[in-house]
Amino acid sequence: MAGQTVFIGDRSGGRDNHFNLIRMVAASGVLVSHAYPISLGPEAVQPLESWLGGITLGAVSVYVFFALSGFFIAKSFDRSPSLGRFVRARVLRLYPALLVVLVLTVLGAGLFLTTVPAGQFWPSGPEYVLRNLSLVRLQYELPGVFEANPYHGAINGSLWTLFHEVMCYIGVFVAGLAGLLRQKRVFAICLAGFVVLCIAAPALPLPGRAETLLRLAFPFAIGTAFYVWRDQVPLRLSVGVGLIALAVLARMTPLFDMAFVLALSYWMFLIGLAPVPRLLAYNRLGDYSYGTYIYAFPVQQLMAWIGVGTALGNMAFAFPVTLAMAVLSWHLVEKPALSWVRTAAPREVRS
């Protein structure tokens, strides 16, 4: 019927969406944003930073990742036949590709990049891999690697978000066990309390990591809320425009970041679920966003190390190499790992 309202739930049940493409654009946005500090030094101004009061293109891209992740992780928990399968899916999506990039980093750095003797470099390799696999106490540097680069020392500065993503996964796991994903009124009360905490956070004596977790958990919570109320959240251009107007009105207030993230998150679903059949062809390629995200920073540092000294040059040389690594990561590591989720322990049933 003409003029009939379409809700998120009406279009999010299958795979006819553009979220793989959106995630890939977001991963590329992180690469573009990082090209400036990697080429010019940590103080370089990144795209959008001046326009959005300190929010960089990289931060916008990470917000997109977390908003989409909130929706799909909640959906995964809600529809998993067992708790074990849900946990396996999360572990196998995150860790195999991460392990490979960490091992390749150590091998490549030790064989070709380090300026220190082998006896000084190689003992640090296992610690680098294990600490970064833990996600809790990341190790960004290896002896003698990228120390003369403009953004000196750091090998993979993108990995810090993974700890916060896992914490959000745990949040969904706990909420799911408590039944909150299906008890909309109770979920609404918890969400309201979380929003109040986010608003009050700048005035609270929170450690830096907790404050960062709240900042990234906010778009994740929005995505989760979109799943919980998927049959009530409409997909309307007028709503998207209204949320942009709300963010503009909040521009000079402490609530701007939250208003901006809300508008951004809604637009990602408006675009991701738009009926544009031609864009669906991208889904046949694969999901290269995670590989792009975890390989981009070390590849960009490598470009700076070989002498690419401009941000545009860094993007131009790093992107095709990163994309090649991401394609290999998806087809050789990530996709095979995810196939194990469907084949492992098929008789498990959630109690």
The secondary structure of the chain, three-state, reads CCCCCCEHHHHCCCCCCCHHHHHHHHHHHHHHHHHHHHHHCCCCCCCCCCCCCCCCHHHHHHHHHHHHHHHHHHHHHHHCCCHHHHHHHHHHHHHHHHHHHHHHHHHHHHHHHCCCCHHHHCCHHHHHHHHHHHCCCCCCCCCCCCCCCCCCCCCCCCCHHHHHHHHHHHHHHHHHHCCCCCCHHHHHHHHHHHHHHHHHHHHCCCCHHHHHHHHHHHHHHHHHHHHHCCCCCECCHHHHHHHHHHHHHCCCCCCHHHHHHHHHHHHHHHHHCCCCHHHHHHHHCCCCHHHHHHHHHHHHHHHHHCCCCCHHHHHHHHHHHHHHHHHHHHHHHHHHHHHHHHHCCCCCCCC
Q: How confident is the model at residue 1 (pLDDT cuts 50, 70, 90)?
A: very low
φ/ψ (deg, to 5) at 144:
75, 15
pLDDT digits (tens, 9 = 90+) for 10-52: 999 888 999 999 999 999 999 999 999 999 999 999 999 999 9
Q: pLDDT (tens digit, 9 = 90+) per residue, 155-204?
A: 999 999 999 999 999 999 999 999 999 999 999 999 999 999 999 999 99
Q: How far apart are CA 217 and CA 169, in angstroms?
A: 10
Spatial separation of the C-alpha atoms in residues 8 and 161, rounded to whole Å: 27
- Distances 200 to 204, 205, 208, 214, 258 between C-alpha atoms, Å: 7, 10, 14, 11, 12
- Rounded Cα distance between 351 and 348, Å, is 9
**Residue found under tokens 């993503």:** 165
**What is the per-residue pLDDT across 58-116, written as a single tens digit (0 to 9) for each?**
999 999 999 999 999 999 999 998 999 999 999 999 999 999 999 999 999 999 999 99
Q: What is the mean pLDDT of the chain?
A: 95
Q: What is the pLDDT of residues 201-222, one digit of tens each?
A: 999 998 889 999 999 999 999 9
Residues 235-251: what's their mean pLDDT?
A: 97
Q: Which band of pLDDT confidence, cut at 50, 70 and 90, is reported for residue 281?
A: very high
Q: What is the mean pLDDT of residues 142-162?
A: 97
Identify the burial level of 288 via C-beta atoms within 10 angstroms of its C-beta, where 0-12 means exposed, 13-18 middle and 19 or more buried: buried
